[in-house]
Every structure is written in structure tokens, then in C-alpha cells.
């Protein structure tokens, strides 16, 4: 008889049930992970309540950590009992991007929590290739935030800011988890001239906790980002603008506030068609603005990849992402977290489920 476990199973759009289901077993090259912590990503909410997944039933969840409890055939015994984080994208290993180790741009990828069962469960099977071992000082909660932290690091690396210092002026609009994490990493790198823009009072508090001065926060409910930025930079504009919202008006205001030779980083998932008026397009040309998209994160098993960079920052105490956890919920009550994020009935940044 198949063993059972408890999990959040998505049976269709809006039909998420916490129920008993069959416990998975690791296949060749896989391990079975006992989930210890799992965070709800903003992308989980439309997947559960609006669009559905690629197939149903499906267990969502791609931000999670745990402990290896069983090995599949051929899996390296070094993983037995190890505490691990999980890179959720499963690359095909054959396409042109994979051959260049650009796995985040794989053309035929699988994905834990959206294309195959993920981490909102007691157990999940994971390819051993996707594991990263956790140093003892890193908690399961921190490890469940490795994925969004690596996304933030990837965006910064795409910008080229790792190689820049001095009086660089940086603006960021959109203070959700990824936006705040970008601010956290930029501050840890020593950047001082950072302007943050959000639309909630608690976002202002979170930005200030990260070292953003009160006068360097713009409430977009009462001010136009581009006008505010030009005023605060004495008409010069900013060198870098991170668009972390995915809305056309933020994109336009970003371009309006970038200095000649500046950089526009597109981070936010689009919530609408993104279009540019002719006058705005002219500014891209005449100011010779560099536009870069960023997607997911780099995981190559090398010490220089985004995930290992995050681990190093955690080990040395340069960053403390756990302050962003606004809700800690036991496994059986995690449904409240989904509803809070869906209805925006409470202030939240990161909602975390404890599965131990």
C-alpha cells in the first residue's frame, strides 16, 4: 500500500485543498526531501487563484528547504541526511542555453511547484542536481529564501553594478520581496545613493530598516516617481533604475528619470501589455540608455554562481533576510497565508510555512 502524506493540492483554479495524498518516492538520480520550510511566492497567488497550473492536480511551492531522507537509484550517497536548499528549475541539459550553463534560460525546462509537484507538502522528490548543501549556521527559513535572494543577486549582476562604485545613483520602484532584497544586497555592497519607491506605509518602514533614509523614499500614491527623482538628483537623473513592478507607467517614469548613458533593469513580471509612446522611445535612443531584462537566477554548481554568492553573504552575516518574514504559519494553517496574499487583508512581505 502506498504511504501517505499531507500536502496542499491544487485541483483547479481556486481549488486548493490541504489533504492526504500519496507520498512520492525518489526516482533515478533523485532524492526524497522532508520539507522543513516553504515560502509563498507572489507568483503562487495568480497560479492558484487565477490562471491555474500546467496540469492538475499539482502541489505548488518552489521556495523551500529541507532534509534529504531517501536516495533514489544512482543518487550520490553524500546527500544522505543533508540539509539542503533547492534550485527549482530543472533544465533539459540539451538546449543551446544549457550547453552554455545558462540553465535559467533553458528552452525545455521543468519546474518544481508549477510543472511538477513542489514544496507545499511534507515530502517532495527533487533531482540531486538541484540541491545545494546548507552550512550549519544557515536556518531552514533562510534557506527557503535562497531562491528569491538569488533572483535579486542575478538582477544586480545583470545590471553590472558589481563592478561599479563611487557616487552611483540607483532608483528602485516596487518594494515587494524581490525589490527589498535588491535593496538589501545593494546596501551590503556599500551603495549609499539609493532611492526607493513604494505604495504602502509598511514598505517605507521596511526600506528604512534596510538603511534607506526617510527622505529617500517616495510614496507613489502622492508623487510622480520621475518628477520626484529628478528633483532629488538636482535634475541629473539616476544611473540605474530597477523596475520591479511590471507596469507600463513605472516603465515610462523610469525612462524619464534615467541620466544619459544610464541603465534600465526590467525585473517585475508584467501585469499588462508594456508599450512605449514615441516621445519615451526617443529618450531611450537619445540618452543612449541600456535596457536589460533579468530572469530567474544562475545555478551552475560553481562557487561563483548566484546561489553560492547568496550562501556566502549569509555565512558572513552580510545579509539578514529573515526580517522580511511577516507571517510564520504551521503547515496546516498555511492556507491563511495564501488568502492574506490574495486578498491583501494584512500587511505582508514574506509568508513562511513551517513544515517540521
Give the whole-angstrom CA distance, residue 348 versus residue 78. Answer: 38
Per-residue model confidence (pLDDT) at position 65: 98
Per-residue model confidence (pLDDT) at position 354: 87
Per-residue model confidence (pLDDT) at position 167: 83
Residues of the chain with CATH 3.90.180.10: 4-144+320-354
Q: 88 near 139, Cβ under 8 Å?
A: no
Residues of the chain with CATH 3.40.50.720: 159-293
pLDDT, tens digit, 9 for 90 and up, residues 196-229: 999 999 999 999 999 999 999 999 999 999 999 9
- Secondary structure string (H, E, C) spanning 185-200: HHHHCCCCCEEEEECC
Whether residue 95 is predicted with pLDDT greater than 70 in this model: the reply is yes
Please state, for a pLDDT cut of 70, what percent of the chain lies above it: 99
Whether residue 356 is predicted with pLDDT greater than 80 in this model: the reply is no
Element (H, E) at 290: strand 290-293
- CATH topology for the 159-293 domain: Rossmann fold (3.40.50)
Give the whole-angstrom CA distance, residue 169 versus residue 351. Answer: 31
Per-residue model confidence (pLDDT) at position 170: 97
- CATH topology for the 4-144+320-354 domain: Quinone Oxidoreductase; Chain A, domain 1 (3.90.180)
pLDDT, tens digit, 9 for 90 and up, residues 103-120: 999 999 999 999 999 999
Q: How confident is the model at residue 163 (pLDDT cuts 50, 70, 90)?
A: low
Amino acid at each position: 500500500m502506498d504511504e501517505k502524506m499531507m500536502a496542499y493540492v491544487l485541483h483547479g483554479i481556486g481549488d486548493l485543498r490541504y489533504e492526504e495524498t500519496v507520498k512520492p518516492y525518489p526516482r533515478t538520480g533523485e532524492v526524497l526531501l522532508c520539507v522543513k520550510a516553504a515560502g509563498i511566492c507572489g507568483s503562487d497567488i495568480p497560479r492558484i487563484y487565477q490562471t491555474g497550473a500546467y496540469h492538475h492536480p499539482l502541489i505548488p511551492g518552489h521556495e523551500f528547504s529541507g532534509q534529504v531522507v531517501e536516495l533514489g537509484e544512482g543518487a550520490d550517497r553524500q546527500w544522505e541526511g543533508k540539509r539542503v536548499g533547492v534550485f527549482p528549475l530543472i533544465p533539459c541539459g540539451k538546449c543551446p542555453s544549457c550547453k552554455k550553463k545558462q540553465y535559467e534560460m533553458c528552452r525545455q525546462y521543468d519546474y518544481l511547484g508549477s510543472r511538477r509537484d513542489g514544496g507545499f507538502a511534507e515530502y517532495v522528490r527533487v533531482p540531486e542536481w538541484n540541491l545545494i548543501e546548507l552550512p550549519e549556521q544557515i536556518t531552514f527559513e533562510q534557506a527557503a529564501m535562497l531562491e528569491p535572494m538569488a533572483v535579486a543577486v542575478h538582477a544586480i549582476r545583470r545590471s553590472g553594478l558589481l563592478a561599479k562604485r563611487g557616487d552611483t545613483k540607483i532608483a528602485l520602484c516596487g518594494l515587494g520581496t524581490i525589490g527589498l532584497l535588491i535593496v538589501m544586497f545593494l546596501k551590503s555592497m556599500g551603495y549609499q545613493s539609493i532611492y526607493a519607491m513604494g505604495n504602502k506605509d509598511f514598505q517605507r518602514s521596511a526600506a528604512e530598516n534596510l538603511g534607506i533614509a526617510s527622505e529617500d523614499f517616495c510614496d507613489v500614491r502622492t508623487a510622480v516617481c520621475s518628477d520626484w527623482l529628478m528633483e532629488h538628483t538636482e535634475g541629473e537623473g539616476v544611473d540605474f533604475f530597477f523596475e520591479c513592478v511590471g507596469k507600463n507607467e513605472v516603465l515610462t517614469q523610469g525612462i524619464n528619470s534615467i541620466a544619459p548613458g544610464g541603465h534600465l533593469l526590467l525585473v517585475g513580471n508584467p501585469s499588462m501589455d508594456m508599450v512605449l509612446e514615441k516621445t519615451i522611445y526617443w529618450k531611450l535612443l537619445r540618452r543612449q540608455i541600456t535596457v536589460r531584462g533579468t530572469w530567474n537566477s544562475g545555478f551552475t554548481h560553481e562557487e561563483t554562481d548566484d546561489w553560492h554568492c547568496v550562501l556566502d553573504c549569509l555565512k558572513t552575516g552580510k545579509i539578514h533576510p529573515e526580517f522580511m518574514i511577516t507571517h510564520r504559519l504551521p503547515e496546516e494553517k498555511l492556507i491563511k497565508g495564501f488568502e492574506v496574499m490574495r486578498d491583501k487583508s494584512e500587511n505582508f512581505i514574506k509568508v513562511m510555512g513551517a513544515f517540521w
